[in-house]
Amino acid sequence: MSTPNGPEGQGPAGEQEEPVVVRDRRRIDPLTGEVRAPAGDALASPAGADPAPAGSGDEPPAESLADPRIADLEKQLEERTADLQRVSAEYANYRRRVDRDREAVLHGAKASFVADLLTVLDDIERAEQHGDLNGPFKSVADKVVGVVEKLGLDTFGAEGELFDPSLHEAVQHEPADAPGATVTVLSAVLRRGYRLKDRVLRPAMVTVVDKPEPEFLSDEPVPPAPADENDPLVNPEEPTNPA
């Protein structure tokens, strides 16, 4: 079949006309309602195509794994990691040492400050014993005592305590109350002792006396004492002799 312009599909000069191509770029399939895959993915991996075989291009060739540059880089990485771990450990030890030194310096400063106030505390204690601690002086004394107690100052030394040469300074030894005494206790406290946490700022000045060691209670039951037959409570039927 021919046309005035020439055969079917050709132009007036006999040239072939370009076919019309309609491309559907809709993302939603109008028939199924599903999302269509992008055109690039369809071209990259068409339906029904087998996946690329393992080792085809994803894995490096075996000869590249034996590259000496890779081994050198791995060695450098291990050395840098070891250096970083060593520096981190040294820094942690440095921090702990600095914190310990700072705490020691702070404790020493507190001890030096409180030690200078011990004579003031002695005057406050003597004024309280003589009844002179009253009025504004008492208010100031209470504040001073509160400050040193807040810093951790503690007193020790009381009558009846066991004598400890590391805490007490004995200036007088009184004779024992009973023969065979084995324990030395404080009989009087002439001057209080003070300590700040585990540091003794001043030992207590005391007088001591020897005492018999107290008997410790035993878990064994104590047998009862034998009863007296002449006791009217034991034998109520036996008459007592009239006076």
- Whole-angstrom distance, CA of residue 55 vs CA of residue 118: 86
DSSP state at residue 11:
-
| Angle, in degrees to the nearest 10, between helices 118-129 and 136-150 | 140
**217: how many CB neighbours lie within 10 A of its CB?**
7
Sorted by where each begins, the domain ranges of the chain are 69-112, 153-214
Does the pLDDT of residue 187 top 60, yes or no?
A: yes
Our CA dihedral for 62, 66, 72, 74, rounded to 10 degrees, sits at 40
What does pTM read for this prediction? 0.49
Q: Find out whether 194 and 188 touch, Cβ atoms under 8 Å.
A: no
Does the pLDDT of residue 218 top 50, yes or no?
A: no
- Whole-angstrom distance, CA of residue 125 vs CA of residue 147: 16
29 residue type, one letter: D
Structure tokens at 126: 């003597």
* Residue 220's pLDDT band (cuts 50, 70, 90): low
Q: What is the mean pLDDT of residues 116-132?
A: 89
CATH topology of domain 153-214: Nucleotide Exchange Factor Grpe; Chain A, domain 2 (2.30.22)
Token pair 């540059």 is found at: 69
Q: Among 24-28, 35-39, 43-47, 79-83, which stretch is predicted with the lowest mean pLDDT?
A: 43-47
For 141-175, the pLDDT digits (tens) are 999 999 999 999 999 888 888 889 889 998 888 87
* Residue 48's pLDDT band (cuts 50, 70, 90): very low
Q: What is the mean pLDDT of residues 66-81?
A: 88
* Residue 213's pLDDT band (cuts 50, 70, 90): low
Does the pLDDT of residue 115 top 80, yes or no?
A: yes
% the chain with pLDDT above 90: 29
Does the pLDDT of residue 78 top 90, yes or no?
A: yes
**What DSSP line would sit under 24-60, residue for residue?**
---SB-TTT-PBPPPHHHHHHS-TTPPPPPTTSSSSP
Structure tokens at 66: 């034996």
Q: Find out whether 167 and 186 touch, Cβ atoms under 8 Å.
A: no
